[in-house]
Amino acid sequence: MPATISKIIDKAKPRFSFHHRHHSDGEEHHQHHGIFALSSSLPTHLFGYKDGKKDDYVEPPPIAPTETQPRETMKPSLPPPTPTKEERHKPSSSVSPQNLPSTPPATPGGSFLAADNEPAKTVTQTEQLSMDEHNQSEKLEKDKCQLKLSDFKIERTVGTGSFGRVHLIQSKINQRYYALKVLKKAEIVKLKQVEHTNNERAILASVQHPFIVNLWGSFQDDANLYMVMDYVPGGELFSFLRKSKKFSNEVARFYAGEVLLALAYLHSKDIIYRDLKPENILLDAHGHIKVTDFGFAKKVPDITWTLCGTPDYLAPEIIQTKGYGKAADFWAFGVLIFEMLAGYPPYYDDNQFKLYEKILTTQPKYPAHMDAAAKDLLKHLLTTDLSQRYGNLKRGYLDIMEHKWFAPLDFEKLIQRKIKPPHIPHIKGSGDTANFDKYPEEFHPYGVPQKENYRDQFPDF
């Protein structure tokens, strides 16, 4: 890490989705407990804010995309025991991860992207389209508290899940494309996912960051809940990883760095994400990430007990039904880096109980091509000993950001989106859905009156 970053953060203090990666949920209990209360207070500009205030957030101008080859149609298989996407899908309160595309809106003010004395750049057609969309979105923002289904034209389905689906929609207010997540209230209540669903909406409404999905607004009718989010057209990191088989150090480091900054921001607000995996990371039109699917996220100052998440990404303390905190996200972060570099997760088994046993009792088998620095970082993240796990120690995120594997990455430039992404998605236009799977459409109309509407259980929608 550059010395300037070290100086800036020198004073930093410590302080599950089974679609056959499948989850289970338990009762929540709360308790204050030593090491689980640790978090990291990194400088606010590394979170994508100025002065730590949401109102001061400024979306950086987009980096001009370069010409790329059309996305491949062949999906090369990976070494066993790599799970397929279907095996990794989850029946949860959240619709499947490819569903929640977004790009945070522009906010009046300056930009933290422009470098001093940097020569003016010619605005490309793609950049102008993106900026125009941001400007149009401000029109929607003024009315987002009064959004209703008739404000949008539903184009097609871009994702499905246990409780509903996500549609590409076009606003009749500003003609911009968005993603509309639709959840069936009766199913949510039946499967006792009311708390998770309300948590998802509340958390998304409270966060805004360059690398996190943005919620524009929500509403409900008798049968469904609706969440309007920006449409992120680049598809899932999962899909790109499967086509690539595995990533080089440089590519994995770029995505890991952006994910780390998003986690740092969430943890600074005492939010545990709890469902980190490539399916829940989207790529925007310029190749930067957007963390999505907050169905399991929860505001937890100290510890929680719920068994939830994706099996091969579960931290040992979650499996053991111990109280756990932010450290569980660091374990999952290690699994993500391993999967990007190896092409498969460190632990996998068709039998869920055998999988858990492997996580609790064995060490990962590192592929021969993985370099020493990556292995060293992963050994400090994928450790069952919480007193040794990076991110959970006295120096918090500094132990990760200053590790030698991250040394080539400039986190200052990364948060400002000054580093060119390793992959620019092939996108024909703002409403292009080519990077998402095709789903059969349902023709049941929304907005039909219901005898039981459950409105009292979702008061904030």
List, by residue number, the catalytic residues.
275
Question: CA torsion, points 15, 328, 266, 147, in degrees to nearest 10?
Answer: -150
Q: Is 181 annotated as a binding residue?
A: yes
Residue pair 178/143 in contact (Cβ under 8 Å)? The answer is: no
- Residue 177 CA, distance from chain mean position: 20
What is the rounded CA–CA span in Å between residue 139 and residue 413? 30
Amino acid at 193: Q
Cβ(44)–Cβ(50) below 8 Å: yes
With CA atoms as reference, report the closest residue to 253 among 297, 289, 218: 289
In our burial notation (b when 16+ CB lie closer than 10 A, e otherwise), range 211-228 reads bbbbbbbbbbbbbbbbbb
Pull the structure tokens for residue 232. 């992120």
CA–CA separation, 157 and 446 (whole Å): 14
CB 408 within 8 A of CB 56: no
Look at residues 51, 48, 39 and name the one whose alpha carbon lies nearest to residue 398: 39
Question: Using DSSP, how many helices (H) and how many strands (E) does the chain show?
Answer: 13, 9
The radius of gyration of the chain's CA atoms, rounded to the nearest angstrom, is 21
- Give the residue ranges of the annotated binding site for ATP: 181
- Give the residue ranges of the annotated binding site: 181
